[in-house]
Amino acid sequence: MITLLMEWKKIKRKKVGLTMCALMGIQFAWHFWAARNPSEKELLQGWLGNLQTQPLLCAIMMPTVMSVLASRLADIEHKGNTYKQLKTLRTAGTLYHVKVLCGFLFILAMTAANYLFLLALGYLHGYVGDPDPKAYLLSFALQSACCLSLYLLQLDLSLLFFNQMIPLVVGLCGSMLGVILMYLKTYSFLPWGGFLSSAIVMMDWNRDTKVVTYYYRDFSSIEFLALTMVAVWIIVFYTVGRILFTRKES
């Protein structure tokens, strides 16, 4: 707890929260723009449509957003050259835990804000019916897990490399892969494709009638396997990151 408080004090006035809010603002603007002037059909399927759009937008933005978040939390130590001092106060493992926990709290806050905005948008436009709470909660949990897996990868890179360009470029390449994978498949085993695997609503576009129909996804065995890969990536990145950080020379 003391170490977590210390972490919060370190990022005080660093405007990490403000940066994340600004990046979330872009997502909100996108949702707002995409959902403007809904047709009757769109109003009928609005709540489902939200759950289909959200993971796709996350696949583009979140790898970069997570790299920015991880870099902000790790760069403080690089710039201040504080590792030696910190490791005399707390064990390296505890320091790593706290960085993970601090980032995870940001992720939860951002994801919650995201879903609250989607709900507000739905009520503002007057989508027909009420949102399915179970589906929204499941989607919220899955998106948080995907963000956590990417955050852990980025945190590992940001802590290991002094040159923050490397993790940031990995984040950008991840965003690029995410957006390309979106066009190729509805699932992926790569960490950046987790958002696609975890989408619980799919879209069917009829080429002749040009009508879009949303439906709850019926996970096939391979899609379910791709979904479980999110948990596998979390475990892998956490374990590898903790070992490498503990062994890292200050």
DSSP helix/strand/coil, 12: coil
- Give residue 170's identity as a one-letter amino acid code: V
Binding mask 74-113 for another protein (x = CB under 8 A): -x---x----------------------------------
Q: Tell me: does residue 71 bind another protein (CB under 8 A).
A: yes
Nearer to another protein, 7 or 214 (CB): 7
DSSP classification of residue 198: T
Q: Tell me: does residue 250 bind another protein (CB under 8 A).
A: no
| CB environment 37-52: b (16+ within 10 A), e (fewer) | ebeeebbebbbbbbbb
Write phi, then psi, for 4 (nearest 5 degrees): -65, -40
Question: HSE on the CB side for 168, CA within 13 Å?
Answer: 10
CA dist., res. 100 & res. 29, Å (int): 29
Is residue 28 within a helix (H) or strand (E), and if so which, with residue range? helix 16-34
Distance of CA 129 to the CA centre of its chain: 28
State in angstroms the smallest separation of the CB of 195 from another protein: 15
State in angstroms the smallest separation of the CB of 157 from another protein: 12
Site for another protein in 30-59 (CB under 8 A): 30, 33
- Give residue 202's identity as a one-letter amino acid code: M
State in angstroms the smallest separation of the CB of 120 from another protein: 20
Q: Tell me: does residue 175 bind another protein (CB under 8 A).
A: yes
For strands 212-216 and 201-205, give the pairing.
antiparallel
According to CB under 8 A, which one of 52, 53, 67, 111 is a site residue for another protein?
67
State in angstroms the smallest separation of the CB of 7 from another protein: 17
Q: Tell me: does residue 229 bind another protein (CB under 8 A).
A: no
* Residues at the site binding another protein, with contacts judged by CB under 8 A: 14-15, 19, 22-23, 26, 29-30, 33, 60-61, 64-65, 67-68, 71-72, 75, 79, 163-165, 168-169, 172-173, 175-177, 179-180, 183-184
